[in-house]
């Protein structure tokens, strides 16, 4: 072995130095890298830590999720159960639907029937409506016609009334005149030639006179009757008591030599024509007097019955009465129940009474038995029920 | 007794005239009776015209006046009498056949003094005529204007 020279040593030292320096540089670099690496490791650690934290959070989330899944599973189970129920319900519903379908079908059938019925009904209604329209038009037409007819009839009625008045005047005047003449000359014949007329002849002349005066009475009564029908009523409050007294007192005077037992009650007020009402009482009372003339003791009773809407007045006697089978003739003009020989009269009185009562909207009837007396009834609406 | 003044009968029906005259006679009234047959003739009588130009100047004590007559009826005559100053004081008794005469009210409105419906029974008729005659021809005092 050769011994290194100094230069060589120096070179070697320099080389060593250089190496050390390199090594130092490398170490420095390595340190630096190491530091970097350390830093990076710190960062990585931190990241790792963060990641760990995140993992913890994720784990927690996972746990939560797992819990949720458990819940969801339960929910799923519940849902499954529900679905089972629902299925059952669905089944039931399906069954129901089948039934409903059947019902629907039935209903549909019914609807078809109903609709055809409806169709029928509608077409019927349409034709009914058309007919109604036709009828309505007809009715309207008739109404117009009726109104025209009423006006026409009214005019005719007024004319007829005037004609009737003229007729009555004519009857009164023209029929009475020749009767007066017959009566007059028959009377003169009897007065001036009684000596030269045989007994039979005088009897005939008497008959002529009786007949003429009878016919005169008939004409007068007929005119009275027609006067009542043409009479314009003055309707007002009438105290039947006053009405009756005014009629009854003169009659009592006139027949004071007859034994008549009168009885009457307090009568109500009515709505009517006092003049005509007096005629009614006069007629009924005179009849009662007339037809009780054969009784030793005549009884005449005046009263009334209070009914719901009307009063029924009556005059009851114990006279000869009559057979009810002829009652329908009682109120007709010139109708009589007894002969003129038995009881005087023309048969107009009761017809007149009936006319007056009917003019007031009332009714009249009688109840009787032969030899057991008669009762005459007439009605009057109570004043509060009068509509005019 | 003062002189008996005439009764004027205005009547178209001759049988009525005859019966009325008989009745007046039966009443024992001795007043003269003048008969005319309708309103026209009655006016001539009252106004001294036509065939009555020459008659004695004297107004009747009463006029018995029928209503229904030809030419001029009782109502028309009554209206004329009523409108005449002097004649309107003349007593006029309507003598008619019927109560149904449409002029009953009008007769009074036109100044008639009475209205009598002739009864059918002749005896009643005599009584009526007697009563009328006695009252109007004897008892009643006429208006002074008629006494000239």
pLDDT (tens digit per residue) in A339-381 = 776 777 777 888 889 989 998 999 999 999 988 999 999 999 9
Joined together, the tokens standing for residue A220 give 């007068």
Closest-CA distance, A351 to chain B, in angstroms, reads 20
Q: Given this model, what pLDDT does residue B60 score?
A: 92
Indicate the helix (H) or strand (E) that contains A122.
Answer: helix A6-170
Question: pLDDT > 90: what percent of chain A?
Answer: 25
Q: Check pLDDT > 80 for residue B118.
A: yes
CA distances from A220 to A106, A356, A374, B118 (A): 87, 18, 27, 12
Q: Check pLDDT > 80 for residue A37.
A: no
Q: Given this model, what pLDDT does residue A2 score?
A: 63
Instruction: Report yes or no on whether pTM surpasses 0.90.
Output: no
Confidence of residue A42 (pLDDT cuts 50, 70, 90): confident
Neighbours of A23 (CB within 10 A): 12
Chain B residues in contact with A216 by the CB 8 A cut-off are 119-121
Q: Check pLDDT > 60 for residue A388.
A: no
The one-character DSSP state at A38 is H
Cα–Cα–Cα angle for A368, A373, A379, rounded to 5 degrees: 55
Q: Which of A33-47, A129-143, B77-91, B110-124 has the lowest mean pLDDT?
A: A33-47
Q: Check pLDDT > 60 for residue A141.
A: yes
Q: Given this model, what pLDDT does residue A271 score?
A: 92
CA distances from A141 to A133, A153, A330 (A): 12, 18, 44
Cα end-to-end span (Å), chain A: 179
Name the residue with higher pLDDT: B84 or A121: B84
Indicate the helix (H) or strand (E) that contains A375.
Answer: strand A374-381
Closest-CA distance, A336 to chain B, in angstroms, reads 23
Confidence of residue A300 (pLDDT cuts 50, 70, 90): very high
Residues 6 or more apart in contact with residue B45 via CB below 8 angstroms: B8, B34, B36, B52, B55
CA distances from A95 to A87, A92, A99, A100, A109 (A): 12, 5, 6, 8, 21
3-state SS string for A302-336: EEEEECCCEEEEEEEECCCCCCHHHHHHCCCCCCC
Q: Given this model, what pLDDT does residue A313 score?
A: 96
Cα–Cα distance, A384 to A269 (Å, whole number): 11
B16/A181 touch (CB, cutoff 8 Å), yes or no: yes
Question: pLDDT > 70: what percent of chain B?
Answer: 94
The mean pLDDT value of chain B amounts to 88
Residue whose C-alpha is closest to residue A259's, from A303, A294, A284, A301: A294
B120/A179 touch (CB, cutoff 8 Å), yes or no: yes
Q: Check pLDDT > 90 for residue B27.
A: no
The mean pLDDT value of chain A amounts to 85
Residue A263, exposed/middle/buried by CB under 10 A (0-12, 13-18, 19+)? exposed
Confidence of residue B2 (pLDDT cuts 50, 70, 90): low
Radius of gyration of chain A (CA): 67
Span A211-230, pLDDT tens digits: 888 888 888 888 877 777 77
Q: Check pLDDT > 70 for residue A385.
A: no
Closest-CA distance, A226 to chain B, in angstroms, reads 11
Q: Check pLDDT > 90 for residue A326.
A: no
Q: Check pLDDT > 60 for residue B49.
A: yes
Name the 3-class secondary structure at A270: strand
Residue whose C-alpha is closest to residue B94's, from B120, B65, B136: B65
Mean pLDDT of B91-101: 81
Q: Check pLDDT > 60 for residue A32.
A: yes
Interface test with A, best of B120, B125, B126, B127 (most A CBs within 10 A): B120
DSSP string, A149-161: HHHHHHHHHHHHH
Mean pLDDT of B71-76: 89
Mean pLDDT of A57-77: 81
B100/A209 touch (CB, cutoff 8 Å), yes or no: no
Joined together, the tokens standing for residue A349 give 């009185």
Name the 3-class secondary structure at B93: strand
Q: Check pLDDT > 90 for residue A318.
A: yes
Q: Given this model, what pLDDT does residue B102 score?
A: 64
Span A12-24, pLDDT tens digits: 777 777 777 787 7
Most confident of A33-47, A112-126, B2-16, B33-47: B33-47
Chain A residues in contact with B19 by the CB 8 A cut-off are 180-181, 184-185, 188
Q: Which of A55-64, A304-313, B25-34 has the lowest mean pLDDT?
A: A55-64
3-state SS string for A172-218: HHHHHHHHHHHHHHHHHHHHHHHHHCCHHHHHHHHHHHHHHHHHHHH
Chain B residues in contact with A193 by the CB 8 A cut-off are none
Span A255-290, pLDDT tens digits: 988 999 999 999 999 999 998 999 999 999 999 999
Closest residue in A to B97 (Cα–Cα): A173
Beta-bridge mates of residue B65: B10, B94
Joined together, the tokens standing for residue B17 give 């005239």
Name the residue with higher pLDDT: A170 or A246: A246
Rounded to two decimals, the ipTM of the complex is: 0.80
Cα–Cα distance, B35 to B24 (Å, whole number): 12
Q: Given this model, what pLDDT does residue B148 score?
A: 57
Residues 6 or more apart in contact with residue A319 via CB below 8 angstroms: A288, A290, A291, A292, A293, A294, A295, A298, A373, A374
Residue whose C-alpha is closest to residue B91's, from B50, B29, B12, B147: B147
Residue with tokens 């960062």: A43
3-state SS string for A289-304: HHHCCCCCCEEEEEEE
Let me know: does B78 contact B93? Beta carbons within 8 Å: no
Cα–Cα distance, B141 to A174 (Å, whole number): 35
**What sign does the CA torsion over A270, A275, A278, A280 have?**
negative
């Amino acid at each position: 072995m050769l011994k290194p020279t100094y230069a060589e040593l120096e070179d070697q030292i320099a080389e060593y130095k250089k190496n050390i320096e390199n090594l130092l540089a490398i170490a420095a670099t390595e340190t630096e890298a190491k530091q970097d690496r350390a830093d990076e490791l710190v960062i990585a650690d931190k990241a790792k830590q963060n990641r760990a934290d995140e993992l913890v959070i994720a784990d927690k989330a996972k746990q939560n999720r797992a819990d949720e899944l458990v819940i969801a599973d339960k929910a799923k189970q519940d849902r499954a159960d529900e679905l089972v129920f629902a299925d059952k319900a669905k089944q039931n519903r399906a069954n129901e639907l089948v039934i409903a379908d059947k019902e629907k079908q039935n209903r549909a059938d019914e609807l078809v029937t109903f609709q055809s019925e409806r169709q029928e009904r509608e077409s019927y209604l349409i034709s009914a409506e058309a007919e109604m329209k036709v009828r309505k038009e007809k009715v309207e037409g008739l109404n117009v016609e009726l109104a025209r007819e009423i006006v026409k009839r009214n005019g005719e009625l007024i004319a007829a009334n005037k004609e009737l008045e003229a007729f009555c005047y004519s009857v009164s005047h023209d029929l009475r005149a020749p009767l007066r003449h017959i009566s007059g000359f028959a009377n003169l014949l009897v007065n001036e030639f009684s000596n030269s007329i045989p007994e039979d002849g005088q009897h005939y002349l008497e008959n002529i006179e009786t007949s003429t005066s009878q016919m005169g009475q008939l004409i007068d009564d007929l005119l009275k009757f027609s006067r009542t029908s043409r009479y314009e009523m003055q309707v007002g409050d009438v105290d039947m008591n006053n009405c009756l007294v005014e009629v009854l007192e003169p009659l009592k005077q006139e027949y004071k030599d007859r034994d008549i037992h009168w009885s009457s009650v307090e009568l109500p007020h009515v709505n009517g024509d006092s003049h005509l009402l007096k005629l009614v009482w006069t007629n009924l009372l005179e009849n009662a007097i007339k037809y009780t003339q054969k009784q030793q003791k005549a009884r005449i009773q005046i009263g009334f019955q209070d009914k719901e809407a009307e009063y029924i007045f009556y005059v009851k006697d114990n006279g000869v009465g009559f057979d009810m089978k002829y009652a329908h003739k009682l109120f007709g003009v010139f109708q009589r129940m007894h002969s003129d020989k038995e009881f005087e009269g023309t048969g107009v009185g009761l017809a007149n009474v009936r006319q007056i009562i009917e003019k007031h909207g009332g009714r009249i009837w009688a109840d009787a038995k032969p030899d057991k007396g008669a009762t005459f009834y007439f009605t009057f609406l109570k004043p509060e029920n009068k509509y005019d | 007794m003062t002189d008996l003044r005439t009764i004027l009968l205005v009547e178209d029906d001759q049988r009525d005239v005859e019966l009325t005259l008989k009745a007046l006679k039966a009443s024992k009234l001795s007043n003269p009776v003048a008969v005319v047959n309708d309103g026209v003739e009655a006016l001539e009588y009252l106004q001294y015209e036509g065939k009555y130009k020459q008659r004695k100047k004297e107004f009747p004590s009463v006029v018995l006046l029928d209503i229904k007559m030809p030419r001029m009826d009782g109502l028309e005559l009554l209206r004329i009498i009523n409108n005449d100053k002097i004649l309107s004081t003349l007593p006029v008794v309507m003598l008619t056949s019927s109560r149904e005469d449409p002029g009953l009210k009008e007769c009074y409105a036109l100044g008639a003094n009475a209205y009598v419906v002739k009864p059918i029974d002749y005896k009643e008729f005599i009584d009526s005529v007697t009563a009328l005659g006695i009252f109007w021809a004897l008892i009643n005092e006429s208006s002074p204007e008629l006494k000239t």
